[in-house]
Amino acid sequence: MSDLAAGKCKPCEGGVDPLKPAEVENMLGQLNGWTLDNGAIAKTYSFKNHYQALAFVNAAAWISHREDHHPDMTVGYDSCRVAYITHAINGLSVNDFICAAKLDKLFDL
């Protein structure tokens, strides 16, 4: 696990450049199981049942609210796909990777 999970998101603002491809690859290498998907970083988490999937969604919502950085989520019976992109810059920012690492840390609890 990287130290990204210890980071704190900065306010999402336009007017800054998205991360460069080399920066994205470097940060992606610090995460477990995340992939680049249509300009976003994404991961699907698997669970034993629907209750666990929804419990994860609620915990992820708490993290998202606390960090003020919100992913797109697709929930199935026993899975949740999470995708991060910083819409204000139409690309990836450090915030996306910080929040992804925080979700991984949550999932490992």
Here the contacts of 37-42 (C-beta below 8 Å, separation 24 or greater) are 37/83, 39/85, 39/90, 39/91, 39/92, 40/72, 40/83, 40/84, 40/85, 40/92, 40/96, 41/83, 41/84, 41/85, 41/92, 41/96, 41/97, 41/100, 42/81, 42/82, 42/83, 42/84
CA 44 to chain centre: 11
In the predicted model, what is the mean pLDDT of residues 100-104? 94
Q: What is the pLDDT of residues 27-82, one digit of tens each?
A: 999 999 999 999 999 999 999 999 999 999 999 999 999 988 999 999 999 999 99
Domain boundaries, the chain: 17-107
Q: May I ask the CATH class of domain 17-107?
A: alpha beta
